[in-house]
Amino acid sequence: MNNLFDYATSELSQDAVICWCLNWLNEPASNLYPLAVDLLKKMGEVTVESGQTLQTIQQFYKTDILICLTGKNRVILVEDKTDSSEHGEQIRRYRERMTQLSEEERRLCGIHENVELRTVYFKTGFLYDADRLVDADVTITGEAFLQCLTPYQGKSEILDAYLTFLERKLEQQAREKDFLQEPERLNNSAIAQHTLMRMIFPETLWKRGSVLYEVYHGSSFGRPWTEMVIAEYLFPTQKDGYRIFWRMDRDQDGTYLSLRFYDPYNKKDAEEKQTHVEAYRKHRAQIEAICTYEFESDSMWAWENVRCGHTENYYEASLLTLHLEQVLKHWDTERETLIQGARALTEQFRRKN
C-alpha cells in the first residue's frame, strides 16, 4: 500500500495528525467529533462539554502544539516526539514561557492572566529511561494513541492511512524488543540493547533522578550503543572524578558487553595522568580478582574469557569485555549465567569501593 505517512515520518507530520484529530471538536456534526473528545480526555480533560471548541497553534515559541480551550482560560502544551527524547528540559522552559506572555499574545491565544496550564508528553516511539524522567502532567504513548484511534477506523482515509502506519511502527518496535528471534538486532537496534540491559539490570535498581542504573543510549557513526553507570567516585586530591559503567556495543566480532572506566583527565598534566592511571589499574586488578576467584574457570565470566587489552591512557578505558554471540546462540542454557554473573560482578565491585 502506498501510504503517505511512510514518507511523512517527522515530528512535524505527527504534530499535524494530532492537530487534525483535535480540530474535529470544532465540527460537532462530524463522525470524527467523538475522536477529538476521546483524545482530549487522554490529555487530561475529565469532561468535554457539548459546544466546547478549541484552537491549536503549532510552534508557538517552539512549543510543538498549544491547545487553547475556548472560554476556559486553560491551555494544553504538547511536546511531541516520534523516536527522539526530550532534551534541555523543553517542557519546563515552554511552561515558564507561557507565564510571560504579553497581553497581545494572550489575546491571540484567547486566554487571560493566571492561565491554567497542563503539559502532555506525546511519544509514539519506544520509551527509554530518559522519557520516564520527563516532567509532564500526562504522557501519551504510541500504544495509547493507537487505542484512541482504532474505534474510528474506516471513517476517514487519512485516519486509516495513519493507523496502518502507526500499527506497523509499533509492531517493528515489538520485533526489536524480541531480540532473541534475531540476535543480530542487538547490532543495530537501541531498543534491543535497552531491552537486554534492563533484563540484566532491572528498572527496580534505578532511583529516578539518580544517574546510577539509568540506561541511556546514543550512536557512533550510525552504530547504536547503550550504557549504564554503576558507580561514581571523586579523586581524593582533585575536584573532579570518574565513572564506572557497563556499555553494550559491537565490533568486528559482534555485540559485546563491556565494563568501562571513564575519566576525561588532562593528558598534558602529569599529576592528573598519574592519578588516572593508578585508579584504572586499581579497578582493573579488582575486576581480575573478582573474575578469578568468584567464577569457575570454565565460566563465561572467568578472567581469561573477559580479559581485554590495557587501555589505561584512554579517557574511556575497558576493564573487561564479554562478547555475546555464544550466549545468544545458547540463550536457554546461558541466560542465567550471563545475568547473575553481571549482577554479582557489579555488586562485588561496588562492595570493594
Could you report the per-residue pLDDT of 323-352, keeping only the tens digit for each?
999 999 999 999 999 999 999 999 999 998
Predicted confidence (pLDDT) per residue in 160-208, tens digit: 999 999 999 999 999 999 988 888 899 999 999 999 999 999 999 999 8
pLDDT digits (tens, 9 = 90+) for 307-324: 998 789 999 999 999 999
Residues, the chain: 353
User: pLDDT higher for 333 or 237?
Assistant: 333
For residues 112 and 236, the model is more confident at 112
The angle that helices 331-352 and 190-200 make with each other, rounded to 10 degrees, is: 70
Predicted pLDDT at 237: 64
Residue 11: is it exposed, middle or buried by C-beta count within 10 angstroms (0-12/13-18/19+)?
middle
Which of residues 130 and 12 earns the better pLDDT score?
130
The predicted structure's pLDDT at residue 101: 83
pLDDT of residue 238: 64
Read off the pLDDT band of 239 (50, 70, 90): low
For 2-23, what is each residue's pLDDT tens digit? 777 787 677 788 999 999 999 9
Place 90 in a pLDDT band, splitting at 50, 70 and 90: confident
Distance CA 43, CA 79 (A): 12
Q: What proportion of the chain, given as a percentage, has pLDDT over 70? A: 98
- What is the model's pLDDT at position 169? 96
241-245 mean pLDDT: 94
pLDDT digits (tens, 9 = 90+) for 32-79: 999 999 999 999 998 899 999 999 989 888 889 999 998 888 899 999
Q: Among residues 197, 203, 310, 179, which one has the least CA distance to residue 247?
A: 197
Q: What proportion of the chain, given as a percentage, has pLDDT over 90?
A: 73
What's the one-letter identity of residue 330?
H
pTM of this prediction? 0.89
User: 247, 260 in Cβ contact below 8 A?
Assistant: yes
Most confident of the ranges 63-77, 93-107, 146-160, 209-223:
146-160
Helices 33-42 and 11-22: crossing angle in degrees, nearest 10, is: 120
CB 186 within 8 A of CB 192: yes
DSSP 84: S
CA 301, chain centre distance (Å): 29
Contact in structure between 112 and 154 (CB atoms under 8 Å): no
Tell me the mean pLDDT in the region 225-246: 88
Q: What is the DSSP letter of 133?
A: T
